[in-house]
Each structure stands twice: as structure tokens, then as C-alpha cells.
Amino acid sequence: MASTRRPLIAGNWKMNGTLADGVALARAIDAGARTAGWTDRELLVCPPATHVAAVAEALKGGPVHAGGQDCHAKASGAHTGDIAAEMLAAVGARFVIVGHSERRTDHGETDAVVRAKAEAAWRAGLIAVICIGETLAERDAGRTLEVLSRQITGSVPGAATAANSVLAYEPVWAIGTGKTPTVAEVAAAHAHIRKALAAQMAEAAGVRLLYGGSVKASNAAELLAVADVDGALVGGASLNAAEFLAIAKAAQSG
């Protein structure tokens, strides 16, 4: 890993936990991170939208950031049930995930929609965590790198920089399944992503690339040691403070 890229361990809590659960989890992660005293890595938790304000308040002034799981492309309007990036920023969010495969699948989000959401994140002063990844059918057809190239071209705006964007590679078939690609497959995918980014932006070398898909304490060190893996986007394992902190401890730096 290049020393200029600070590892980021991000937890996506998805649709889990009550408000009390979320605040308690945030406080436990915050306490562990404070005890560890890490200054060479960043931690981020993205709770359900109803919990963002309380979680951000619980984490205020500490080493762990709060973020959202999604945002609308518009700043306001007749979009029942949606949340603007500005609303997330106003309650203390620093990041927002856009284009997660569950949003792409469950809500039919296209690359163009994801691109617009990334731009909305920037408009609100948030860092966009832009997700890409292939399905099992695409992988089995040998189209992984082709799909990643298409998603990068379509989902990553031309104004992306190392300061306003993070990319997360999440093979769809590995999310929540317990399956993970081989280290060689992860390395090949991340090297390809870095190369594809370099073709469309000047700061590609500085953009952090996260790996996501059944990351847990038992496999984190191996995955985070891969070249061009600058952190992880963690799902289920982020709902356990000790497990999430163990993953953060495994992050490579320098």
C-alpha cells in the first residue's frame, strides 16, 4: 500500500438494530478506537438513516466517523422516503455510500443514478463511497473486469478526486454469503480498478480502494495485505464492536 493512502475501515450496518442498539454499538466502537489510539487509519460506521444523527452525536469529537447508506441526487423535492445528502451532512455525517449492490438490485439503480448521487454527496461536502462489483453470473462468464470497467466509467464522475471519493469493490456474490474471492482474484480486481481509474482521472494513485464481501476478523489481515486494498467495507461483521475493531487492527499502513 502506498504510504499516502490512509486505510479506511467502514461498517455498513444496513437495516439492522434499534436506535438504542446503534448508539450502544457506536459507543463501543468509539471506546475501542480511543483505547487503540490509531492515527494511521480511519474508521467509519454507516447506520440506518433514522440513527445517523444520534450515532454522529455519540461519536462527536472522537476517532470514528458517521456516514449514511444512501442519498438522493436532489437536494430537496417531492421524493417521499428519500434523504438528501445535505440532510445527512447537517446531522453530522462525513461520508455516504452510493451504488451499493443492494441498492442497484433492490431499487434498480443504474450507473447514471449512482454517478448523480456521488455528485450530490460532494455538493453537500460529503465523501462518496462509490460501490462497484460483479454478480455471480458475470463472474462465471469471465466478465468481472469488463463489468468493473463499465461501472467505473458510468458511476464515477469525472470530477472525482482522492479527497472526495472512495471506491469499494464488492463482488455481489460474496456479500453476506461467507464466500470470498481468492487473494489473487482480489489483487487482480483492485489492480484493474486502479488502472481503469487512471484512464479517467489524474489522482487515481491517491484514491482509496476498499474491498467488501464477507470481510471478518479471521480473513481481514490476508485481504488487507493485498496490493491496492486500502481498507474494507464491512457488512455483518460491523454489527459486533469487537469483530469490527479486530478488522481495523488488521489494516495495513505505511
| Residues assigned a catalytic role | 100, 170
**Which parts of the chain are beta strand (E)?**
8-12, 42-46, 64-68, 95-98, 127-132, 165-169, 208-212, 231-234
Pick from 104, 98, 101, 72: which is nearest to 156 by CA?
A: 98
Of 70, 67, 69, 65, whose CA–CA distance to 29 is shortest? 65
Q: Which residues have CB under 8 Å from 204's CB, separation 6+?
A: 194, 197, 198
Query: Computed from CA positions of residues 246, 250, 251, 254, in that sequence, does the dihedral angle turn out positive or negative?
Result: positive
Determine what percent of the chain falls in helix, strand and coil, rounding each to the nearest 5.
Answer: 45, 15, 40
The pair phi, psi for residue 82, each rounded to 5°, is -90, 165
Q: How far apart are CA 46 and CA 176, in angstroms?
A: 17
Q: Which three cell numbers stand for residue 135?
A: 454478480
The Cβ-side half-sphere exposure at 67, using a 13 Å CA radius, reads: 30
Residues 69 and 48 sit within 8 Å (Cβ to Cβ): yes
Residue type, 154: G
- Backbone Cα Rg of the chain: 17
